[in-house]
Amino acid sequence: MAILEVSGVYKSFGGNLVLENVGMQAELGQVTSLIGPNGAGKSTLLNIISGFLKADSGAVRMNGREIAGYPPFKCFKAGIARTFQDSQVLPYMTGLDNVVVSSPGQRGEMEHNALFRPWVVAAEERERRAEAMAHLASLDIESKAASLSQALSYGQQKLLEFARMLNSRAQVFLLDEPMAGIHPDLIEGLSKMIRAAATEHGKAVILVEHNLKVVMDVSDYVVVVRGEVVVEGPPSEVEKDERLASAFLGFVSNAAT
Ligand SMILES: Nc1ncnc2c1ncn2[C@@H]1O[C@H](COP(=O)(O)OP(=O)(O)OP(=O)(O)O)[C@@H](O)[C@H]1O
Ligand SMILES: [Mg+2]
């Protein structure tokens, strides 16, 4: 069963209809890619799923529960984490602290423990730091644990953002153009991490990406949008479908960036 289900979503800005009856699903352990030309409505859809925008109509269900209209923090609590087209890390915190603060508190009795059982809090804190460190290590950026994240390169900040998501225990990852602006040498590694988020960590990943080779390599399922869903299916099928090319016709693409 799909953990996330979007159906019948409409969204317009002013008189401009951007999403028209859009539906898609995401499953745990799978990478579902959302592709389409510039202005097709991909980021708008991610914004709706994560609560940053409200759809005019339509449903967004997480684990079968309607979440359309939830504000971002409630979507996050429901298990949806996202990246933005620009990297979003906490610049004045170290790499390690950036990851540590992304995990939810373990127990509701934090204050009680802090006052009466401080050793419990200390043990929990050690555990959380070890876990955060393991995520940094799995992304090969453990050497940046003590650096302020503003001192990291753009590509390293993207990896740090990814470590924050892995640590957050969210079940659905929304990735908006994670490869954009990244050094070409890092693309393969980042692709592997995206794949691993699904295969090893069991997340449901929704990937918005202009690099079609990456998309076809890492996806289990591909949805092509241009205001509405144009064609969808396994990458091997979508790749051959003439509707893929026609969806991109007539648009100025910045796919090379
Ligand atoms: N907050 C907003 N107010 C008005 N128009 C908006 C807003 N957000 C997006 N749009 C418009 O909606 C359309 C879809 O934008 P969106 O950012 O979702 O496209 P996209 O598929 O993510 O494109 P890209 O590949 O360039 O990132 C565009 O025409 C855009 O100008
Ligand atoms: Mg976009």
pLDDT in tens, 184-217: 888 888 899 899 999 999 999 999 999 999 999 9
Annotated domain spans of the chain:
4-89+169-248, 92-151
Q: Does domain 4-89+169-248 have CATH number 3.40.50.2000?
A: no
**Which residues of the chain fall below pLDDT 50?**
252-257
Instruction: Please give the structure tokens belonging to residue 116.
Output: 């009466």
Please state whether the predicted TM-score (pTM) of the whole model is above 0.85. Answer: yes
| Among the bound ligands, the one closest to the CA of 14 | 1
Cα separation, 40 vs 101, in Å, equals 34
Give residue 190's pLDDT: 87
Closest Cα to atom 28 of ligand 1: 39
> 3-class secondary structure for 105-172?
CCCCCHHHHHHHCHHHHHHHHHHHHHHHHHHHHHCCCHHHCCCEHHHCCHHHHHHHHHHHHHHCCCCE
Give residue 43's pLDDT: 95
Torsion of CA 179, 149, 185, 254, to 10 degrees: 30
Cα separation, 26 vs 204, in Å, equals 6
Give residue 221's pLDDT: 98
The residue whose CB lies within 8 Å of the most ligand 1 atoms, and thus the one to mutate among 42, 207, 224, is: 42
| Among the bound ligands, the one closest to the CA of 36 | 1
- pLDDT per position as a tens digit, 58-84: 999 999 999 999 999 999 999 999 887
Q: How far is the CA of 26 from the centre of ligand 1 (A)?
A: 22
Give residue 85's pLDDT: 65
For 131, the 3-state DSSP assignment is helix
User: What's the distance, Cα to Cα, between the start and end of the chain in Å?
Assistant: 36
Give residue 110's pLDDT: 66
Question: What's the length of the chain?
Answer: 257
Q: What is the mean pLDDT of the chain?
A: 89
Cα separation, 185 vs 36, in Å, equals 24
Q: 21 pairs with which residues across the strands?
A: none
Cα separation, 227 vs 250, in Å, equals 14
Give residue 250's pLDDT: 64
